[in-house]
Structure 1
Amino acid sequence: MDARDLGRSVKWVTSFRMVGAARVLRSVRSAWRNRRLDAAGLPRPGAERARVPGAAVEARPLPGGGVIRFARSSLLVRVAAGGAVFCGWDGAGPQPSYALAGAVPEVDDRVVLEPDTDGGWRVVSERLLVVVSRHGAVEVRTPGGVVLRRDQPPRWWEPVEVAAGEGGPRWMQRAEVPPDARHFGLGGRSAGPRLRDGVYRLWNTDPGGSFQPGDDPLYLTMPVQLVVADAGTHLVFHDNSFDGRVSLWEGEEGAGSGHDRPGRSEIRMEGGPLRYWVLVGTPARVLRNWAVLTGGAALPPAWALGHHHSRWGFGGAEEVRRVVAGYRERGLPLSAVHLDIDHYRGHRVFTVDREHFPDLPGLARELGESGVRLVSIVDPGIKAEPGLAVYDGGLAVDAFVRDPRGEPVRGEVWSGESVYPDFTDPLVREWWGGLYAERLAEGFSGFWHDMNEPVSFSAFGDQSLPRSARHVLEGRGGDHREAHNVYGLLMTRAAYEGLRVLRPAERPFLFSRSGWAGMQRYGGTWSGDVATGWPGLRASLALVLGLGLCGVPYSGPDIGGFTGSPSPELYLRWFQLGSFLPLFRTHSAISTGRREPWEFGPEVLEHAGTALRERQRLLPYWMTLAQLARRTGAPYVRPLWWRAPEDRALRDCEDAFLLGDSLLVAPVLEQGTDRRAVRLPRGCWYDTATGRLHEGPGQVLLDAPLSRIPVLARAGAVLPVAAPDGSVELEVWTPAPGRTGGGVLIGEDGVVTRFTSRRRDQTVRVEQEGAAEVAYPVRVRG
């Protein structure tokens, strides 16, 4: 038993009371069963032979690049029309891929493959230059020749005597980046968003209980790195879903006798193809091209941009009514209530506990009359119980993941011994998508996917399915080593496609605890079970920023933390931060205290109400950001360096963020704070509370009383906001003298309206693109 197993065992012991003795014992049995299956069903480790590409032999031009053959390997390099570079070793091509959206981008026909001076080759395009050395190192350079990234020749380890198992040999590749570079991404990481020196595992994992900053890995990992340096920004995506590790070392300028030490990274994968994409440009261009490659973000329905209230343990319909009435009586906006597994009959998915929720459709209609929707949790594990409709239906269509013996794999989750749909099978995805008809009939308007790493409670070893479990993988066949990381992605795909069939006139609302590259096509995510405490509050922001830079713009934390009971101050500061994040949701475990704002005293209620009403006022701006995320790939929540990646001080700033291009939000992340330093990007910024103007770049000290967190508006910004009567008006922040500003409004209908603000002397004028007059009321501030 290793240290990770020991830590999980300790968590199981501490949570013994909550999960129950019987479940703990079944988790031990499940762990031993998985170990036996893997011992019999996976290739046994043995002697390995290392391989490197060797010397370059020849090259064959192809549209967009070409194939370079080495003594012991080959490399395909192609440049897409948008500038994205694809590199595939040993015959690996862009497809099949779960990350890509549809067809592979067309290649740039103007690209030229030509010999290089050292016996290597050059792939020359208008936007970048790819240089392949004679031993297989790959450099991506700017057109001017500045190196953005240098990937060293890869190394493979292949079995000597035992035939290679499915997925191919394990491999490793090292890379160098400029000394000033900073790394971001790799999915949902609780430390950051800037990724320090360390090792980051690529294996979607339920940490058990709750997590703190530094716990790694978590529920949603991606082999996506965004690298920001003076020379430029680039994104690298290794399209491989196997278990792996990324090691990072920051560089240093002037290290050792005045020489620079480059930043370094190393990726090691336990199998699968060695293929990757590199996208270069400004952060905005890189994320736009990433969205083209992997798909635009699903557009949430307008109500999903409001406030959501959730908990595990409502108990019944009357408690839901009481909570909703509490919001209404206090004049607090509320968009949705989420029901956790306790509303199911014995935790069985796609059922209802009729004793405590005797008329769910009636409850949904009742809440809907006041503008509140019901959202249902959905877990993938199906109780292995003959007579249960979902279980019997799955057996009838051969829907479940099987072990090497051909039997359905069994795991342990909340409902007991369960089986798992194989979402890598198109027919199973279609069957699963149809099951949401039951949820819609019960009155639910949205869905959150949980436990879909997937989880099987296990006292030791992986808390998941055995790695030897068999998957269809679109007909190719394979095992759980390849399917594990894409399981949550494909579950959400199945639900999204099913809901589009069941309710074609409505935009599906889905968010999922686990996923992979490209999951934004189907919905968003949330933090998972973040621990209550000030460190958990800081981790909440890190997760949202990091996921946005991986192309997943819609996410948010459990406000107040999943475990424990927050102090009034911590709850309020978390609530204030959450009101400026895309998914604005309170949530907690069954064993914790309540999360309604009025449970924390009149002062917290007053200030939380202010945050709620400001969220409601900004809903037109939120819808605009959602539309922009879908169209451009730009996340709603952006790091301060978004428009100025060359500002090194901003690259290291992790306690504030941009909401779109117009607002800068500086949450309070430390106890007892009533003033805080805020680093400003270049330009002029108004404190929205005081109206005072500050000029960046630089640092300012701002008041942060318990009643609010600092929020600044960019001078010249034109913000679409909700007027008191619910219509849209424009809030214009006075441009600096001699400067212009602007903004955009995109409503639910998708119509784009652009505005320009101008200042002449003491007069501010707003113009609407394509119109003689502005069609909305204008209110000037600053």
Structure 2
Amino acid sequence: MITNTELEYKGNLYPNHIVEFKQDNDKLYFTSENGVILQVTILRGSVIRFRYATNYVFEPDFSYAIDEEASLGYSILDVTENETEYLIKTARLQLLVDKMTLRTQISDLEGNIINEDEAGFHWEENYEYGGNTVKMSKMTQTGESFYGMGDKSTHSNLKGKRVENWVTDSYAYGKDQDPLYKAIPFFIGLNKGKAYGIFFDNSFKTHFDFAHERRNVTSFWADGGEMNYYFFYGPDMSTVVSAYSNLTGTPELPPLWALGFHQSKWSYYPESNVKEITALFRENKIPCDAIYLDIDYMDGFRCFTWDKNHFPNPKKMISELEEDGFKTVVMIDPGIKIDRDYWIYKEALENDYFCKRGDGPLMHGKVWPGECNFPDFTNPEVREWWAELYKEFMSDIGVHAVWNDMNEPAVMEVPSKTAPLDTRHNYDGHPCTHRKAHNVYGMQMVRATYEGVKKYVYPKRPFVITRAAFAGTQRYSSTWTGDNVATWEHLWIANVQVQRMCMSGYSFVGSDIGGFAEQPNGELFARWIQLGVFHPFCRVHSSGDHGDQEPWSFGSDITDIVRKFVEIRYQLLPYLYTMFYKYSKDHVPMLKPLVYYDQEDTQTHFRTDEFIFGNQILVCPIQEPNAQGRRMYFPKGKWYDFWTQETLNGGKERWVTAELDKIPIYVKAGSVIPKYPVQQYVGQMVIKELILDTYFKLGIETSEVYEDAQDGFDYKKGRYSLRNFKLTGKEKSLTIQQFKDGSFVTSYEKLKFNFYGLPFKIGKVHVDNEEVDLKSMDSIKENSMLIDKNFTLLHITSK
């Protein structure tokens, strides 16, 4: 361990030697002679929390990020000491605390150092605002890589980068621009095949330096608050991401239609335009489940109102759209127009719900309606009021879902683009200024929206979207990457951002397909659709300033390509829904960068383009104009070409062809991929059979399919269907075992297996140990067969 030679350096203060140690069950307290207290909490054998107090005083222990339902608990906690340090041992880790400096070192049980303080905790008094700027610096190893941090529009590997978290309205942002719309202060470190994670739970503006200023130091600091961080140990990256996601939460299952294709624009109005767009979807036979109404549906941009000239009878319109399979999603912003004849403004004013400036006047700023006041969503009373405002929209008018925009909060015509820093907030009973509350403001708005939508769409499930987010917002809402641009660079950015968000615990995410600002050409739009259908949230959205951006806007050839890929998404809905189930229940990210998929392969550490969709489909978008193909890296294993079913072995880079109507898609050998027939919208047809595309492998592979009623909450009472398939392939035989769980009865009675890559000609088929007459199987020559959905054992042999 390094020792402190000085207690103060360049204005920074450091802890000195420990004078007191005490233990209170899972909490250990180390007090330095100059008033620093380090509180170490053992949450799990591989999850440790570190909090530092100065002047002997901890702040109230409160966080918006932590999920109340996080599963915690440990089996082993031993504390010993020697002349120079304290040694804390759990079932997975060893922690050293240096007696002279309070620095820490974390290693695995074999003694391999995972993470080590450099200067460790230090602080600097903030004379302008009071409190401290709190800092932490760690040693960085030579080959160490860093990932995560939310929506950063930069290379997936953050080594050598410096970033900050301050949610910002970043219209038409560029590559490497920072900060953006999200503040997720969580990163994953990877060194020598071992992964760990650090979540800095501090809602002030936070800063991270990943060996940028000094090659051997990674540091993070905040403009106020406490040095309060969580350490997660892998050694697998999947364990780290899962532990972080368990701590900050995952969403409940959305309605299945929320995973369909959605169409949006700023703005579709009047009603006749909305009807025209939805009719063209059905006419062109391009599946679509939702149509979005941007701010122009409102009366003078007043939230919770309708422009009766453009939408004379919204309830009737929404009902008619629903009959044609379209759900209606409306935008709600935080700014409330200052208008004494506007009932929501009057109600908020009378109840003292608006944010105030430091000396008492209401905080106001210009947004779309003009001058606005802003509700203080960090006040639980305000959140409760806001949730109730959705009653008329959801219960009476029939709106299906809500989209919260501008909730950073965005304020126009001021240099900061947001509320003044002296704006005061309740912060759930911990009063503070906007310096502390800014990053959570949008999160608390969408939390209130989620509670209201959930209450008033019941017994259906809520679907909510947000632009601004802090760690933990994924519990309430889906999100998108904000106001991007119709350029090839932004196609690359969208790919990296969505992978990064998934690694940061926030999987229900997508981009504005085609770009929000400016106008794509047909080729760019097609390539963006090809990427976007493999993102968890799939929506076209544009500013509308430069022309139309509907699937049929670029000529018949592009329309055909769009239709083809949207149909693939609808076929893969049961696969996508299963991905969401795994995310929701088991904290598994829905998209996986190659480094997550195989961290031991150093070739994956700097890959940005390829990703794993779910667990078994490899996707690589085309991100350059006029491309007829590209080079891509295949991770280890055997892969089937989705288009041709040809196989290749991974572990190397290859050239693959991909003309405009295709992108490289590959399926992992041994996979059983569930599919539905193409529908124009979720629920259009009763599913008569579940298609199972089965890709042969020598060896064993497992797959699963999760299904339920596609909406409602019966699945929480056991009314779901979970099919686990274990595939065992040999040179002359294939065995598939099915294990079932749940009481939901699916609408289909048959499973249709399509076999690819069988190394033998089918000679015999046994289902549950009874031989099947091959003559009764019409499609056996095409290596396809229908069998009862309740089978337990399927055995296929060459003779």
With structure 2 as the length reference, what TM-score do the two structures score? Answer: 0.87
SS in 2 for 1:611: helix
Q: Any residues of structure 2 matched to 1:128-277 within 5 Å, and which? A: 128-134=93-99, 135-152=101-118, 153-158=120-125, 165=129, 168-207=131-170, 209-249=171-211, 263-277=216-230
Query: Is the 1:227–1:235 Cα contact (8 Å) retained in structure 2?
Result: yes
* TM-aligned CA distance change 1:180 to 1:760, over 3 Å: same
User: How far 1:733 sits from its partner (Å)?
Assistant: 3.5
Give the percent of matched residue pairs that are identical in Structure 1 and Structure 2. Answer: 29
Q: Which amino acid aligns with 1:67?
A: Y
Q: Which amino acid aligns with 1:157?
A: E
Rounded Cα–Cα distance in structure 2 between residues aligned with 1:727 and 1:378: 39
Which piece of structure 1 moves more, 411-420 or 177-186?
177-186
* TM-aligned CA distance change 1:627 to 1:104, over 3 Å: closer
Per-residue CA deviations over 1:332-384 (Å, capped at 9, x if unaligned) read: 10010011111111111111111011111111111111211000111001001
Q: Any residues of structure 2 matched to 1:312-351 within 5 Å, and which? A: 312-351=266-305
Rounded Cα–Cα distance in structure 2 between residues aligned with 1:269 and 1:719: 46
Residue in structure 1 matched with residue 575 of structure 2 by the alignment: 621
Residue in structure 1 matched with residue 447 of structure 2 by the alignment: 493
Residue in structure 1 matched with residue 517 of structure 2 by the alignment: 563
Residue in structure 2 matched with residue 756 of structure 1 by the alignment: 726
Aligned length: 718
Residue in structure 2 matched with residue 70 of structure 1 by the alignment: 32
Query: Is the 1:740–1:758 Cα contact (8 Å) retained in structure 2?
Result: yes
User: How far 1:317 sits from its partner (Å)?
Assistant: 0.9
Q: Which amino acid aligns with 1:554?
A: F
Matched, 1:600 2:573: no
Q: Any residues of structure 2 matched to 1:277-426 within 5 Å, and which? A: 277-281=230-234, 282-426=236-380
Where does the alignment leave 5 or more consecutive residues of structure 1 unmatched? 1-46, 252-260
Query: Is the 2:21–2:30 Cα contact (8 Å) retained in structure 1?
Result: yes
Matched, 1:584 2:538: yes
Q: Which amino acid aligns with 1:98?
A: Y
User: Which residue of 752, 763, 786 maps to 1:777?
Assistant: 752
Rounded Cα–Cα distance in structure 2 between residues aligned with 1:698 and 1:727: 41
User: How far 1:296 sits from its partner (Å)?
Assistant: 2.1
* TM-aligned CA distance change 1:109 to 1:59, over 3 Å: farther
* TM-aligned CA distance change 1:126 to 1:704, over 3 Å: same
* TM-aligned CA distance change 1:770 to 1:325, over 3 Å: closer
User: How far 1:414 sits from its partner (Å)?
Assistant: 0.6
SS in 2 for 1:187: coil
SS in 1 for 2:595: coil
Query: Is the 1:297–1:552 Cα contact (8 Å) retained in structure 2?
Result: no
User: How far 1:762 sits from its partner (Å)?
Assistant: 4.3
Which piece of structure 1 moves more, 573-582 or 637-646?
637-646
User: Which residue of 43, 47, 70 maps to 1:80?
Assistant: 43
Relative contact order, higher structure (CA 8 A, sep 6+): 1
Rounded Cα–Cα distance in structure 2 between residues aligned with 1:373 and 1:356: 19
Q: Any residues of structure 2 matched to 1:631-642 within 5 Å, and which? A: 631-642=585-596
Residue in structure 1 matched with residue 393 of structure 2 by the alignment: 439
Residue in structure 1 matched with residue 407 of structure 2 by the alignment: 452
Q: Which amino acid aligns with 2:108?
A: T
Query: Is the 1:229–1:645 Cα contact (8 Å) retained in structure 2?
Result: no
User: How far 1:747 sits from its partner (Å)?
Assistant: 1.2
Rounded Cα–Cα distance in structure 1 between residues aligned with 2:581 and 2:750: 20
Q: Which amino acid aligns with 2:721?
A: V
Query: Is the 2:202–2:226 Cα contact (8 Å) retained in structure 1?
Result: yes
Matched, 1:111 2:82: no
Which piece of structure 1 moves more, 279-288 or 557-566?
279-288
Where does the alignment leave 5 or more consecutive residues of structure 2 unmatched? 1-8, 679-684, 709-714, 742-748, 758-799
User: How far 1:298 sits from its partner (Å)?
Assistant: 3.2
Query: Is the 2:518–2:546 Cα contact (8 Å) retained in structure 1?
Result: yes
Per-residue CA deviations over 1:531-578 (Å, capped at 9, x if unaligned) read: 110011111111111111111011101111011111111110001100
Query: Is the 1:454–1:488 Cα contact (8 Å) retained in structure 2?
Result: yes
Rounded Cα–Cα distance in structure 1 between residues aligned with 2:647 and 2:73: 48
Q: Any residues of structure 2 matched to 1:506-517 within 5 Å, and which? A: 506-517=460-471
SS in 1 for 2:597: coil
Q: Which amino acid aligns with 2:121?
A: P
Matched, 1:693 2:656: no
* TM-aligned CA distance change 1:757 to 1:485, over 3 Å: same
Rounded Cα–Cα distance in structure 1 between residues aligned with 2:82 and 2:652: 45
Query: Is the 1:92–1:274 Cα contact (8 Å) retained in structure 2?
Result: no
Per-residue CA deviations over 1:461-518 (Å, capped at 9, x if unaligned) read: x111110011111112111000000011111111112223223322110110001010
User: How far 1:599 sits from its partner (Å)?
Assistant: 1.0
Residue in structure 1 matched with residue 778 of structure 2 by the alignment: none
Rounded Cα–Cα distance in structure 2 between residues aligned with 1:341 and 1:103: 36
> Which structure dedicates a bigger proportion of its chain to helix?
1
User: How far 1:116 sits from its partner (Å)?
Assistant: 4.5
Q: Which amino acid aligns with 2:670?
A: G
* TM-aligned CA distance change 1:689 to 1:548, over 3 Å: same
Residue in structure 2 matched with residue 11 of structure 1 by the alignment: none
SS in 2 for 1:315: coil
SS in 2 for 1:528: coil
User: How far 1:709 sits from its partner (Å)?
Assistant: 0.5
Q: Which amino acid aligns with 2:179?
A: P
User: How far 1:582 sits from its partner (Å)?
Assistant: 0.7
SS in 2 for 1:629: helix
Q: Which amino acid aligns with 2:90?
A: S
User: How far 1:693 sits from its partner (Å)?
Assistant: 0.5
Q: Which amino acid aligns with 1:234?
A: Y
Rounded Cα–Cα distance in structure 2 between residues aligned with 1:335 and 1:324: 10
Q: Which amino acid aligns with 2:74?
A: D
C-alpha RMSD of matched pairs (Å): 2.1
Residue in structure 2 matched with residue 34 of structure 1 by the alignment: none
Rounded Cα–Cα distance in structure 2 between residues aligned with 1:106 and 1:512: 29
Rounded Cα–Cα distance in structure 1 between residues aligned with 2:79 and 2:27: 6
Query: Is the 1:188–1:546 Cα contact (8 Å) retained in structure 2?
Result: yes
Residue in structure 1 matched with residue 702 of structure 2 by the alignment: 742
Query: Is the 2:45–2:76 Cα contact (8 Å) retained in structure 1?
Result: no
User: How far 1:736 sits from its partner (Å)?
Assistant: 2.6
Q: Which amino acid aligns with 2:563?
A: G
Query: Is the 2:70–2:248 Cα contact (8 Å) retained in structure 1?
Result: no
* TM-aligned CA distance change 1:410 to 1:65, over 3 Å: closer
Rounded Cα–Cα distance in structure 1 between residues aligned with 2:643 and 2:584: 31
SS in 1 for 2:359: coil
Query: Is the 2:689–2:750 Cα contact (8 Å) retained in structure 1?
Result: no
Rounded Cα–Cα distance in structure 2 between residues aligned with 1:71 and 1:105: 36
Q: Which amino acid aligns with 2:252?
A: A
Which piece of structure 1 moves more, 342-351 or 573-582?
342-351
* TM-aligned CA distance change 1:405 to 1:58, over 3 Å: closer
* TM-aligned CA distance change 1:467 to 1:626, over 3 Å: same
SS in 2 for 1:729: strand
Rounded Cα–Cα distance in structure 2 between residues aligned with 1:104 and 1:325: 45
* TM-aligned CA distance change 1:416 to 1:106, over 3 Å: same
With structure 1 as the length reference, what TM-score do the two structures score? Answer: 0.89
Query: Is the 2:408–2:439 Cα contact (8 Å) retained in structure 1?
Result: yes
SS in 1 for 2:583: helix
Q: Which amino acid aligns with 1:155?
A: H
Query: Is the 1:63–1:111 Cα contact (8 Å) retained in structure 2?
Result: no
User: Which residue of 101, 124, 137 maps to 2:67?
Assistant: 101
Q: Which amino acid aligns with 1:529?
A: D
Q: Which amino acid aligns with 2:558?
A: V
Rounded Cα–Cα distance in structure 2 between residues aligned with 1:731 and 1:191: 38
User: How far 1:103 sits from its partner (Å)?
Assistant: 6.4
Rounded Cα–Cα distance in structure 1 between residues aligned with 2:93 and 2:652: 33
User: How far 1:58 sits from its partner (Å)?
Assistant: 3.0
Query: Is the 1:492–1:512 Cα contact (8 Å) retained in structure 2?
Result: yes
